[in-house]
Structure formats: structure tokens, C-alpha cells
Amino acid sequence: MKKFFKIGCLGFIILIALIVVIAVVASGGDDSGSGSGSNSNSSKSEEQKAHKVGDTFTVDDKAEVSVTKVEEREQVGNQYANKKASEGGTLVAVQWTVKNVSDKPLNAFSIPSINLVDEKGTKYEADIDATSNYAIETDIDNSKIASDLNPNIKVTDIKVFEISKDSYAKGKWYLEIDGSKVQIK
């Protein structure tokens, strides 16, 4: 019963996350007004320098971010709720921390977002189903989808991306966090 309740709560959180994503996409998700997808608040040196897994860096003077773990998986979840990679695909599971270093709460729209990016600049969004199952497996559910992240509070979040296994095996891969890059492969 406890697992069912946790899955039900996770489903509600996923629904809220989906609504937030749709709202961000509908608004353009780009404050710069240039439509280029680049973050005008990032300095050129920050965009050129790729951080490494384990590095801690500041995003927009409001959040300290660190990617703590990246792993390639064929399946995420447990015996009751799991997601397998599609044929020819692989799952890239990411754990990262966010700490509010500003003097105001960060709402869901202010907390840094994360995408997987290949060396050509193609962006991949997280697989919501795989992310939910990974949350059940790891027992990490600290994301702040429906509540604010108050000053000096640090949370761990997770994302799982499904991509082509062949593509992932070739080239360089990055996580893009509000304009900053973390090289993962």
C-alpha cells in the first residue's frame, strides 16, 4: 500500500511538472527576447567553459548547482514500477543538487532547468516516466515542482533522458543547466 501511495503522489507531482513545462514552453522559455535559445545572463566565458561532474557552480547569482552522478542504464525503477530503454536506446540517469543562494525563495519557474545536449547542440528533454521510476528506485524525491526553494536550502533532484545508444556512444555529451554546461562524456 505504501508503494501504491508513493506512486500516486509521484503521479500527481508528474502532472504538476507537465503543466509547468507546458507553461514554460508556451511562454517561449527565453527571457532574452532574441529567440535564439541562449541565456543572455550567461557570460561568454561561462558558456565556453564546461564544468565537470562534481563541480559546484552558480547559475544567475541565485542557485548553486552540482551534478553529482551520471550513469548509463538499460532500465530504471524497481520490480513494481520500471522503465526499460526502447530498442536501440539507452537511459542516461542524472542526479544533481540545487541550493538557493539568493535572499528570496525560488519558485518552480526560477529553479534551474536541465537538458541533455550533444556536441552539435541538439537538446534532449527528460523522460518523465523514466524519471519517475528512477525516483522510486533511488528514493530521491526532493524536487521542488509544487513549492518554493527557500534561501540556503539545498535539494537533490534527478532526471532520466532516453536517447539513441549509438549516438550516446559517439562524441561528447553535456548537461545544460540554464546556459552552463557540464561535460558528462
- The predicted-structure confidence for 65-118, as pLDDT tens digits, reads as follows 999 999 999 999 998 999 999 999 999 999 999 999 999 999 888 889 999 999
Q: What is the pTM of this model?
A: 0.72
- Which residue in 125, 159, 126, 127 sits closest to 142, CA to CA? 159
For position 74, what pLDDT does the model report? 97
Q: Report the 10 Å Cβ neighbour count for 178.
A: 18
Beta bridge partners of 154: 99
DSSP state of 31: T
First to last CA, the chain: 40
For CA atoms 148, 113, 13, 130, give the dihedral sign. Answer: negative
